[in-house]
Amino acid sequence: ASDLELLLKMKESLENYGSSLDSWNSTTPPCTDGHANWRGILCYEGKVWGVKLENMGLQGLIDIDSLKALPYLRTLSFMNNSLEGPWPEIHNLVGLKSIYLSNNKFSGEIPYRAFEGLKWLKKVYLSNNQFSGYVPTSLTVLPRLIELRLDGNEFTGAIPRFHPLNRLRLFNVANNQLQGQIPSTVNRMPASSFAGNERLCGAPLESCTSKPSTASVVGAVVVVCLAVLVIGIVVLMIHKKQNGACAAKLGNPPSSIGKGRLRDVGDESRRSAGSMSSTDTRKAEHLRLSFLRDDREMFDLQELLRASAEILGSGCFSSSYKAALVNGPTIVVKRFKQMNNVGKEEFQEHMRRLGRLSHPNLLPPVAYYYRREEKLVVTDYVRNGSLAVRLHGHQSLGEPSLEWPIRLKIVKGIAKGLEYLYRDMPSLIAPHGNLKSSNVLLSESFEPLLTDYGLVPMINQELAQDIMVIYKSPEYLQQGRITKKTDVWCLGILILEILTGKFPANFLQKGKGSEVSLASWVDSVVPEEWTNAVFDQEMGTTKNSEGEMEKLLKIALNCCEADVDKRWDLKEAVEKILEVKERDGDQEIFLTSYASDAELISST
Ligand SMILES: Nc1ncnc2c1ncn2[C@@H]1O[C@H](COP(=O)(O)OP(=O)(O)OP(=O)(O)O)[C@@H](O)[C@H]1O
């Protein structure tokens, strides 16, 4: 059908336009070159690129489907009318850059996949309708989204976590029924963007923790003052942060933890260092780092505090700082927030145990620092960054994306690292416990290095549940239990993330047992569609590797099997993963080299 026929079909679905759409008739084409003959039509070189029917008192249900065959359609606006009905399915309008439906009477839930594949979408305006249910998670991964208005609806549940590298410059969810903590990836927006949702909390609104009583504030002040005398202002700053809410999560550069503060950390530490070292050696004892490996040059906490620091990420679980030591390596100091139940002996013993582990796919701790209220773990800085950033951040950073052979190499390395953890820490139910793409760092040769493993026994149980990946598993959500196969589920989800390029957290809907995981999404796509709909197009699919990619995808689905009895154990999963080849029909496994690995990667 021609543009003219398609638009007239849509016109039929509208009501109450009176004479305002008289120009829409079958005798005049909608566009002549760049000129529009029809009211509300935007034209470019004779093609319709926009439909803009605003403030016309329109009623009825729009027949969006008839627009999907308009190949040049880029913008749609029906703002300020009285249109009604459910969410108009726009996912077929693949070239759409903006959609404006504000101030109408649309209602009902928007499917969570409603925006999937709309990679050109920059602006979404749905304000002041009656949409309900969850905010659709497919919005969170739109690579070009810069303006999103959902205010004045009836959305419920939590704000989903937008990609850390999102480009949003306008975000408004005010006046809904949203609840829970505002994700750090959008908390740079003004408070007015979140107003009118009684149960939302966290920056830029009030903290999610209850306000402390006056007595505890006074007590805290006294304690903090003593702490200042003993270990200096740097640790005071850390304390302050500990008392606050879990503010920002990683990856994003939220304004609340910017470079200014980092400079402050450096300044304060220099002052405290100067005033301490000469006077009180007993106090200095408190500042001793315990080293776990004797092949490493040692340094003390003073040196560390003197180094210029940069925050890598700060979440509920930990904050990570990168520090370049003067005349020394660049290291990462990870400060754990949720370990205050663990005693010194237990902590030391556990750290020594982790320090003894050695494998080309692990990034072992180098040193630690223990005080009852403060635990730091030092590792080498890995310059190539995390798999999470490589998978999801490369577009913004202008980096090339990872190709299939590299992705396969990474999966195999992760499997081998995990197998080693299972062998060497058999007493732990979940030897890794927090396997996710931000905890996989990449060496210069793209060998994966696992971090943050073996920590489950150290973390405060009640908080671990909100934080660690094992507690997102079906067995935990449905039966409240963790098993030896729970890390296998995490491995499965991670492989799916690697193959699809999609962020697993965006698939998790809130609520026990009702969650939609990345695995169930992949499972819902028929295998014939995998090449087009499931595999990350950036992976560089070639005809002679598709069979092996499919093999790996099936392995991942087996690892994600919700029924723990049917799920593979780690040994079987690793065996199957190591059998996958780079190309269909290859006789050998090409990518198992451990060669260039333990090159641990400190820049100086
Ligand atoms: N040794 C390291 N070298 C380079 N980057 C690192 C290193 N350790 C962590 N990172 C990166 O720093 C960021 C913050 O890490 P951090 O471990 O604090 O948070 P996370 O792993 O994203 O979440 P969680 O708080 O659940 O562990 C992540 O992007 C992570 O990949």
In this predicted structure, the answer to whether residue 67 has a pLDDT above a threshold of 60 is yes
Instruction: Grade residue 516 by pLDDT with cuts at 50, 70 and 90.
Output: low
177, β-bridge pairs: 156
Compute the half-sphere exposure of residue 434: CA atoms within 13 Å on the CB side of its CA. Answer: 20
Ligand 1: centre distance to CA 434 (Å): 12
* Cα separations in angstroms, 519 against 67, 282, 402, 531: 32, 54, 21, 16
The mean pLDDT value for 308-330 works out to: 79
What whole-number distance in Å separates Cα of residue 278 and Cα of residue 289? Answer: 18
With the most atoms of ligand 1 within 8 angstroms of its CB, the residue from 241, 320, 376 to mutate is: 320
Looking at every residue in the chain, the average pLDDT score rounds to 79
Label residue 349 exposed, middle or buried (CB < 10 Å: 0-12, 13-18, 19+): exposed
Question: Both tokens of residue 462?
Answer: 């009640």
* Rounded percentage of the chain residues whose pLDDT exceeds 90: 41
Torsion from C-alpha of 410, 379, 473, 491, nearest 10 degrees: 10
The mean pLDDT value for 545-564 works out to: 93
- Kindly write down the DSSP assignment for every residue of 192-252, as one continuous string: GGTTT-TEEESTTS--SSPPPPHHHHHHHHHHHHHHHHHHHHHHHHHHHHHHS---PPTTS
Q: What do you get for the CA distance between the two ends of the chain, in Å?
A: 64
Ligand 1: centre distance to CA 324 (Å): 16
Pick from 307-311, 407-411, 539-543: least confident = 539-543
With the most atoms of ligand 1 within 8 angstroms of its CB, the residue from 438, 440, 460, 600 to mutate is: 438
Instruction: Grade residue 545 by pLDDT with cuts at 50, 70 and 90.
Output: confident
Contact partners, residue 416, CB within 8 Å, separation at least 6: 359, 360, 361, 574, 578
* Whether the CB of 184 sits within 6 Å of ligand 1: no
In this predicted structure, the answer to whether residue 176 has a pLDDT above a threshold of 90 is yes
What whole-number distance in Å separates Cα of residue 577 and Cα of residue 309? Answer: 39
In this predicted structure, the answer to whether residue 125 has a pLDDT above a threshold of 50 is yes
In this predicted structure, the answer to whether residue 246 has a pLDDT above a threshold of 50 is no
The pTM (predicted TM-score) of the whole model is: 0.57
In this predicted structure, the answer to whether residue 248 has a pLDDT above a threshold of 60 is no
> Nearest-CA neighbor of 305 among 341, 339, 331?
331
Q: Residue length, the chain? A: 604
**Number of other CB atoms surrounding residue 59 within 10 Å:** 15
* Whether the CB of 435 sits within 6 Å of ligand 1: no
* Whether the CB of 252 sits within 6 Å of ligand 1: no
In this predicted structure, the answer to whether residue 236 has a pLDDT above a threshold of 70 is no
The mean pLDDT value for 379-407 works out to: 81
**393-403: pLDDT as tens digits:** 755 445 677 88
The mean pLDDT value for 177-189 works out to: 91
| Nearest ligand 1 atom to alpha carbon 318 | 25
- Is the complex ipTM more than 0.85? yes
What whole-number distance in Å separates Cα of residue 331 and Cα of residue 323? Answer: 5
Instruction: Grade residue 19 by pLDDT with cuts at 50, 70 and 90.
Output: confident
- The pLDDT of residue 84 is 93
In this predicted structure, the answer to whether residue 500 has a pLDDT above a threshold of 50 is yes
Instruction: Grade residue 294 by pLDDT with cuts at 50, 70 and 90.
Output: confident
**40-66: pLDDT as tens digits:** 999 888 889 899 998 889 998 888 888
| Type and span of the H or E element at 585 | none
| Nearest ligand 1 atom to alpha carbon 251 | 29
Contact partners, residue 234, CB within 8 Å, separation at least 6: 265, 268, 269, 272, 305
Tell the residue nearest (CA) to atom 12 of ligand 1.
312
In this predicted structure, the answer to whether residue 595 has a pLDDT above a threshold of 80 is no
Query: Measured at the alpha carbon of residue 63, what is the angle toward residues 60 and 64, in degrees to the nearest 5?
Result: 125
Contact partners, residue 398, CB within 8 Å, separation at least 6: none
In this predicted structure, the answer to whether residue 141 has a pLDDT above a threshold of 50 is yes
With the most atoms of ligand 1 within 8 angstroms of its CB, the residue from 312, 336, 382 to mutate is: 312
Q: Which long-range contacts (CB under 8 A, 24 or more apart) does 177-186 make?
A: 178/135, 181/208, 181/245, 181/246, 183/158, 183/159, 183/249, 184/247, 184/248, 184/249, 184/250, 184/252, 184/254, 184/315, 185/161, 185/249, 185/251, 185/252, 186/159, 186/162
* Whether the CB of 381 sits within 6 Å of ligand 1: yes
In this predicted structure, the answer to whether residue 572 has a pLDDT above a threshold of 90 is yes
- Cis omega (within 30 of 0) for bond into 204: yes
* Whether the CB of 250 sits within 6 Å of ligand 1: yes
> Nearest-CA neighbor of 319 among 227, 241, 233?
241
* Cα separations in angstroms, 327 against 60, 330, 407, 442: 71, 10, 35, 25
In this predicted structure, the answer to whether residue 260 has a pLDDT above a threshold of 70 is no
| Top-confidence range, 203-212, 248-257, 273-282 | 203-212
> Nearest-CA neighbor of 173 among 199, 212, 143?
199
Ligand 1: centre distance to CA 435 (Å): 12
Pick from 276-290, 438-452, 570-584: least confident = 276-290
Do 192 and 213 form a contact (C-beta atoms < 8 A)?
no
Do 431 and 425 form a contact (C-beta atoms < 8 A)?
yes
Contact partners, residue 259, CB within 8 Å, separation at least 6: 310
* Whether the CB of 116 sits within 6 Å of ligand 1: no
* Whether the CB of 332 sits within 6 Å of ligand 1: yes
Beta strand pairing call for 154-157 and 374-380: unpaired
**353-371: pLDDT as tens digits:** 999 999 999 999 999 988 8
- The pLDDT of residue 549 is 93
Instruction: Grade residue 311 by pLDDT with cuts at 50, 70 and 90.
Output: confident
* Whether the CB of 506 sits within 6 Å of ligand 1: no
Which of 190 and 277 is assigned the larger pLDDT?
A: 190
**Number of other CB atoms surrounding residue 113 within 10 Å:** 15
**425-453: pLDDT as tens digits:** 998 999 999 999 999 999 999 999 999 99
Helices (H), 434-583: 461-467, 474-479, 486-500, 518-524, 546-559, 570-579
**Number of other CB atoms surrounding residue 283 within 10 Å:** 14
Ligand 1: centre distance to CA 557 (Å): 27
Question: Both tokens of residue 127?
Answer: 């304000």
